[in-house]
Structure 1
Amino acid sequence: MKLLLLLLLLPLLLALMPIIIHASTLNIYYNGTVEAEINSNDRQFFLIGYNITDLKVIGARYNITGNTLYLNPINSTVYIYYKSELSKGVIQVNEPYNLTINLYLPLNSSINYISTQPYSFSTVNGLYNITFVNVSKVTLLYASSHVILAQNEFGLPAIIGGLVGSDAVLATLILLLWKRRRKEEVEIMKDEEGVDLVTDKLDERDAIVLEAIKMGTNTLADIVRQTGLPKSTAYRRVKKLVKLGYIEEIREEGKVRYIIKSDNK
């Protein structure tokens, strides 16, 4: 009888057990400083940038082959610190496992994301902190203050300023990425269930997202938490609502928020 009761309660007990979240964290600063806190189960770490100096590894013995750090942990957590050179205006991460990634950029940066939707923006000690959660790959382009991205009447980014050398290369990359993004935007958007998102009719998920924004939920992360929708689905629905004119997308100091348009209140 007791065994039967235990078997019946086992699914409930498993559901109540805490979910283990990957503990590894990677901090990358625009000046090439890299800090990592790695779970001892992770035995490899791909070094970011080139010309690595001042490497310190605490909590593990290690060896390096190419840009890969092979770890033999002696503690439950391994700490890695070093300085590197980063390609100007470009930060790329490609690790062999998921982790939380924090990128730190100057406040005067113009930012253009290539891949992976950031989880949050914040300002820390005079720097932008862009956070990506539970990801292994991030690619980000940014430009310093003398490279200004503007929009002309056709929506085409105009890159203003005296661009020479590497700045000109960066400007070209940003322009190519913008064109790629515009091409993606004109394609028919469909969610993971194949539902056409360019129709002007709102379905149940659209209504859920719209109602959450009406209640004051104004960031993508908060919309995901409020609605329980997958992040990719919430993002596409938000973009659909923007396209159809139900909501506005507002960018302020590196942060993106969404509000109901005044004529829809």
Structure 2
Amino acid sequence: MSGAVDLAQLSILSWVFMSVAALIIGISKTALPGAGSVVVALFAVAIPARESTATLLLLLIVGDLLAIWVYRSNAHWPTLLRLFPAVLVGIVLGVAFLAVADETWVRRVIAIILLLVVATTLWRRWRARGADAPAAAGRVAAGIYGTLGGFATMVANAAGPVMSMYFLAARFPVKQFLGTAAWFFAVVNVAKVPFAAGLGLFSVDGLWIDLILVPGVLLGAIVGRLIAGRMSQRIFERIVIVLTVGGALYLLW
């Protein structure tokens, strides 16, 4: 494994950013999916963008497993099966991009992906107003969202906002949303591990960072479970949208 992460040279501010990110990972997986874009931004600022993708990936898998345990009976499998083929295509495209992209381009694409998510978020919410049927149920929508989500997750671990908008448009109740998202990201993130390893994105120092930050993910998951149990559907949907927009703007800044 190789990488540019160096534990000895990480600043206190970098550790603060990553610790906050670990807490948000736990909360986002069990309560507020849109918060994931903030995590991407914090890690991209704390450590080199290419290495942040792999280091963050393992923490996300920990969060996914916790979310599966919490919402193990709430997944909507027909939706998942419809999405996975397109996601695989997106992952392959992301691998090809990472093989040729330098640090600057990785950062730029992270920002562009999140901007596209913001635009898609607002457009689909406007289009779905007053509709009786789920707006994201079709195969075309699944193909578009799945491919973009697969590319975004491979390049920047930024599929959370993309897929949150898909699940919102499908009008899932809070627990079904979170359960479906938990299984979706667990499968996708585990599938990404060999690709990331093949690209040499993992490093020994990155793995130590993950080990140190795991307790923060656990704490966040506990907090998120408490929040989700007290949140209405309407508030949940609004928070997801606001966090998605906020994460994109933060990264650009």
TM-score if structure 1 supplies the norm length? 0.23
Quick check: which one's strand share is greater? 1
Between 1 and 2, higher relative CO (CA 8 Å, sep ≥ 6) is seen in: 2
Quick check: which one's helix share is greater? 2
TM-score if structure 2 supplies the norm length? 0.24
Q: Highest Rg: 1 or 2?
A: 1
